[in-house]
Amino acid sequence: MATATNLGFPRMGANRDLKKAVEAYWGGKITADSLLETAKELRRSHWSLQAAAGIAQGHIPSNDFSFYDQVLDHSVLFSAIPERYAGVPVKSELDLYFAMGRGLQKKEEGIDVPAMEMKKWFDTNYHYIVPEFKADQTFALGANPKPVAQFLEAKALGIETRPVILGPISYLHLGKPARGVAAFDHLSLLPALLPAYEALFAELAKAGAQWVQLDEPVLCLDLPAHYKSEFAAAYGRLAAAAPALKILLASYFGTIGDNLNSVISLPIAGLHLDLVRAEGDLDTVLARKSEFSFNLSLGVINGRNIWKADLEKAIAKVDRAVAALGVDRVLVAPSCSLLHSPHGLAAETKMDKQILDWLAFAVEKLDEISVVSRAVKNGAHSVKEQLESNKKSLEARRVSSLIHDPVVQARHKAITPEMIKRQSPFPARYAAQQARLSLPAFPTTTVGSFPQTKEVRVARQNLKKGAYTQEQYDEFIKQEIQKCIKFQEDVGLDVLVHGEFERNDMVEYFGENLKGYAFSANGWVQSYGSRCVKPPIIYGDVSRPVAMTVEWTKYAQTLTTKPMKGMLTGPVTMLCWSFVRDDQPRRITTEQLALAIRDEVQDLEAAGIPVIQIDEPAIREGLPLRRSDWTAYLRWAADAFLLSSTGVRDDTQIHTHMCYSDFQDIFTAIKDLDADVITIESSRSDLKLLSAFNGDSYPNAIGPGLYDIHSPRVPSTEEMHHRVKEMLKYMDSKLLWINPDCGLKTRGWTETDAALRNLVEVAIRMRN
């Protein structure tokens, strides 16, 4: 039969059980043993769930579970631990692991190490911990390797799994030179790395594994020519290391394209294709069927979005492969790991029933995989009821009046070139803004949010449950804003923010105030570490019925004579951090969002707000994986930002924010945004990202992050002062802003107080 398979499953649990347990462990509320037991129960539950859904024995993934990040797991697995962590006095390997992911600071014990760098995992909102390599890097398989341990754990439950491991080419490609190390070709480390993989393969074979899944997502990128020989060398050795172990090579997130030449003759037992992102790859591969004997794993169910699949189309794709190769050589799969989908729909009892009928989360996607597999094996008549139900849902969505808004469509068609240009060039604008704002040299600000304490979260829950009236909740928010403004004035910041205490999430909050959005109750997806986000769902044409932020920002401005900064999320980020409708081009949806944000920007200006920040951290994330597609995307992405931001006077200062980006890749687009001030993440990258802004190449003002807000450690004044002096090697001091590298929502007040006081002290030193 066409085998039902899966590439990976969400880790957090139906109710974010892992998040709660990990954070409880960090807070000293539970023991390591308790954390490990929670993790073990989650793995058992997820394996059993997949088996019950019909995923075949031997093709249920294991080792897809992680306490923080699978790439960090990989670095630990192969002993690629940066030297700065070698002498950290921690109680266990688990604590060392968390120190690498989030940093560790215990001043009373003399411990102060920063976290490793984070980057976005290809074009997703998931963050991975970047491996660090030296030219003489060594690798070694540690004792009791995690992939083997979790395979045996499942086997003891009577479940045969397929261990998931990041492939050697992708692992090296995703790394960076260690601190103080000059750039070098990471693939030169392949001969040193492969013995560790070979040892792992031998142990998996000894444990009884039949299949191993090697993820090589770099196959969807434009790769250097020498990768072809590297793939051949690496996979030849791995196949020889454990001949009985079948290798499934998994590529996803885009087309394999010309990289097929690098893998078609490899000694692998299976090749996975993402047929959601790259439907044409099926024809490309089948046209060369005489050149290979491996199985094909077909990613026909979207692992990254939440809409029900068109099962008839999915079955047709699989049938084409079966006709060419035979049913025994075809596997049915999601396009990528279901890590990027919420757990399941069972908790969605309050969502509009019409919209709910259009959705499939990870649990439901397992059922879709099973239905496609059974239809191919036994004929469509064997799943007639499921296919009829699916067809009915798809048609209901297509014709629904909820989706199409003629007013929005007409306004979109009326966009003109004049609507994407500021009135004057930057120098004239910045002079007008300085005359209005009277800011000192090295002006200080934050990126927007302040700590979302337990009290803030409880108040929000009380409003939802009806325990608070709207008036009681509004009074609570006013008090939080008052405290936040007083705190910022006491610390000495120059441009203030209201703190965003009324906002659950920088995308969800705006989505709740826009037409065309729907919301789940429990649709959480992991972003990094224990951090989960609940992306809203764009199901139809988007518009802004009423102002979203004006009243709270106006109120905050009445509490201070210092300039207040209005905080908005930009259209590209609203798109990328939502589950997006798939029935029209993403560009059109983005431009609809830009028009809605434009309305809010103009209302904030009319209310007297002098500074407006439109965050666009996801512009790099949305960049297509193939360079041939970059130009078109960057043009409409930049135009969308301009459309949202240009309807203001010269003396209204427009800020934007970006984080965890390879800025060199999008530098032209960053300049095209023409924001008056851009704040960027640069703390975890040792300022290497600033090379894109060197010299006269970036003419506008910039605030590189002075410290990492994703870590609980507080940097000293001396550390941040040194960082500012390094920044001045890249940029004009007259255009340098002083700020953290991101919003402070996830931090506590104690560390926020200490870090911001140090930050302001640095600005004062620089002025003197």
Which phi and psi angles does 75 have, rounded to 5°?
A: -65, -40
Q: Does residue 707 sit in helix, strand or coil?
A: coil
Residues 440 and 394 both lie in one domain: no
CATH number at residue 746: 3.20.20.210
Residues 92 and 238 both lie in one domain: yes
Residues 363 and 324 both lie in one domain: yes
- On whether residue 84 sits in a domain, the answer given is yes
Its sign, for the CA torsion 657, 591, 274, 666, is negative
Residue 59 in contact with residue 331, Cβ under 8 Å?
Answer: yes
Which phi and psi angles does 332 have, rounded to 5°?
A: -100, 130
Our answer to whether residue 721 is catalytic in this structure is no
pLDDT given at position 436? 98
- Please state, rounded to an integer, the average pLDDT across all residues of the chain: 94
CA dist list (Å): 74 to 9, 71, 90, 251: 18, 5, 20, 18
pLDDT given at position 698? 82
- On whether residue 416 sits in a domain, the answer given is no
pLDDT given at position 47? 98
pLDDT given at position 693? 67
pLDDT given at position 609? 98
pLDDT digits (tens, 9 = 90+) for 399-415: 999 999 999 999 999 99
Q: Whole-angstrom distance between the N-terminal and C-terminal Cα of the chain?
A: 75
Residues 567 and 663 both lie in one domain: yes
Range of the domain at 207: 3-399
* 311-325 vs 362-378: helix crossing angle, rounded to 10: 50
- On whether residue 268 sits in a domain, the answer given is yes
DSSP 451-474: ---HHHHHHHHHHHHTSS-HHHHH
- On whether residue 310 sits in a domain, the answer given is yes
CA dist list (Å): 376 to 231, 282, 629: 33, 17, 35
* 146-156 vs 70-77: helix crossing angle, rounded to 10: 110
Cα(512)–Cα(509) distance, integer angstroms = 5
Cα(440)–Cα(482) distance, integer angstroms = 24
pLDDT digits (tens, 9 = 90+) for 110-132: 888 999 999 999 999 999 999 99
Residues 315 and 438 both lie in one domain: no
pLDDT given at position 712? 85
Residues 374 and 491 both lie in one domain: no
- On whether residue 468 sits in a domain, the answer given is no
Residues 160 and 296 both lie in one domain: yes
- On whether residue 638 sits in a domain, the answer given is yes
- On whether residue 145 sits in a domain, the answer given is yes
Cα(515)–Cα(596) distance, integer angstroms = 10
Residues 342 and 433 both lie in one domain: no
Per residue in 483-509, is it b (16+ CB within 10 Å) or e — as a string? ebbebbeebebbbbbbbbbbbbbbbbb
Residues 674 and 529 both lie in one domain: yes
Spatial CB neighbours of 427, under 8 Å, sequence gap ≥ 6? none
Nearest CA among 361, 362, 337, 365 for reference residue 351: 361
Q: Does residue 342 sit in helix, strand or coil?
A: coil
Residue 610 has a CB neighbour count (10 Å cut-off) of: 19
pLDDT given at position 659? 76
Spatial CB neighbours of 36, under 8 Å, sequence gap ≥ 6? none
Domains in the chain, number = 2
DSSP 245-268: SEEEEE--SS--GGGHHHHTTSS-
pLDDT given at position 691? 66
Helix (H) or strand (E) holding 105: strand 104-106
The amino acid that residue 653 corresponds to is: Q
Residue 63 in contact with residue 8, Cβ under 8 Å?
Answer: no
Nearest CA among 566, 581, 586, 598 for reference residue 536: 581
Burial (CB < 10 A; 0-12, 13-18, 19+), residue 334, is buried
Residue 714 in contact with residue 758, Cβ under 8 Å?
Answer: yes
Residues 385 and 498 both lie in one domain: no
β-partners of residue 214 are 165, 249
Residue 204 in contact with residue 212, Cβ under 8 Å?
Answer: yes
Pairing verdict, β 161-166 and 127-129: unpaired
Residue segments in the chain with a per-residue pLDDT below the cut of 50: none
Residue 759 in contact with residue 740, Cβ under 8 Å?
Answer: yes
- On whether residue 294 sits in a domain, the answer given is yes
Query: Which residue carries 């729907």 as its tokens?
Result: 518
**Domain stops at, among 381, 399, 417:** 399
Residues 442 and 393 both lie in one domain: no
Q: What is the pTM of this model?
A: 0.90
β-partners of residue 518 are 537
Q: Which two tokens stand for residue 315?
A: 């079955």
Which phi and psi angles does 106 have, rounded to 5°?
A: -135, 90
Cα(75)–Cα(56) distance, integer angstroms = 30
DSSP 601-653: HHHHHHTT--EEEEE-TTTTTTS-SSGGGHHHHHHHHHHHHHHHH-SS-TTSE
Q: Which residue of the set 343, 498, 710, 721 is catalytic?
A: 710
Residues 505 and 553 both lie in one domain: yes
